[in-house]
Amino acid sequence: MHLAFSMKELGDLSYFLGISVQSHHNGFFLHQHKYASDLLLKAGMIGCKPCSTPVSSKPSFTASDSLPYPNPSLYRSIVGGLQYLTITRPELSYAVNQACQFMHSPTVGNFSAVKRIMRYIKGSLSHGLLFTPSSFQLHAYTDSNWAGDHIDRRSTSGYCIFLGDNLISWSSKKQPTVSRSSTEAEYRSLANTTAELTWLQMLLQDFSVPQSSILVVWCDSQSALALAANPVFHTRSKHIEVDCHFVRDKVQAHQLLLRHVPTASQLADIFTKPLSTSRFSFLTSKLRVASTPLSLRGPAKDISSASVDV
């Protein structure tokens, strides 16, 4: 890189654009503790009561929830900050994606949902992503929550991609069109995951890290896997023809291997729907989101001395 750019060696990276990088005996730990604390301060929720999940699995509604939120600029500022926080907090992706859908005209209920995200962050300020030495083999999990949005009945797609044991790419996104079946919703998510995997494969190739074996995608939908392998299903699925051909061509060219994974072991589940506390905690740990390793912890700091309960 010195041959192509004028640059200086500043030593090991420790803090960059709000992201702290801490090295330890077996890898690196990335977190945004200070950034998250500043976000809590901006929202006036330094002293809020922590909660165990960013989204309630059993939401309740009141008559005031549909009223316009009086300070939409604050809502947009906080949600924009939460988007940046997902760089090291993938378990927040679904909740933040839901909040982003109401940026144009947030309601009191929408801000209450954002406050719950902030309460979860308060209880997990030390969390971040752990990276350890492993293989360079790409594999992915893909999932979809069919017609999960009660307003427009669009599905939510989610995927997470690992390089060896380390999470390097993830997404939680509402699909642009309404899917007429769970198979269609799953297949759209499968196509998006395949496209991301293909791009990462080419990127690693540019870094002289070629994939030594076929790419693997884990999916919990038997019908989507059958559609990828059996052209007989195609006549019943003309409305997803492009996605069908894209994934099927990868499979037939032996560039992609589709495998079934039980729903209980589907890691992408966390990107598509609200989950119970136990299920959320289990999947969060599988994504390698954890608190600061013991070897990196310093003296505890109290950031709630000037707190305001919310």
Asked if residues 258 and 245 have their Cβ atoms less than 8 Å apart, the reply is no
Q: How far apart are CA 100 and CA 76, in angstroms?
A: 8
The reported pLDDT for the residue numbered 128 is 93
**H-run or E-run covering 159:** strand 156-163
User: What architecture is domain 134-261?
Assistant: 2-Layer Sandwich (3.30)
- Please tell me the least confidently modeled range out of 196-205, 223-232, 237-246, 251-260: 237-246
What DSSP character marks residue 255?
Answer: S
Name the band, by pLDDT with cuts 50, 70 and 90, for residue 229. Answer: confident
pLDDT digits (tens, 9 = 90+) for 14-49: 888 889 999 887 889 999 999 999 999 999 999 899
Domain spans, the chain = 15-129+289-296, 134-261
Q: Two tokens at 285?
A: 């740990």
Q: Would you say 114 and 29 are in contact if contact means Cβ atoms under 8 Å apart?
A: no
With cut-offs at 50, 70 and 90, classify the pLDDT of residue 94.
Answer: very high
Q: How many residues can be counted in the chain?
A: 310
Sorting pLDDT into bands at 50, 70 and 90, what band is 304?
very low
CB 65 within 8 A of CB 111: no
pTM for this model (two decimals): 0.86
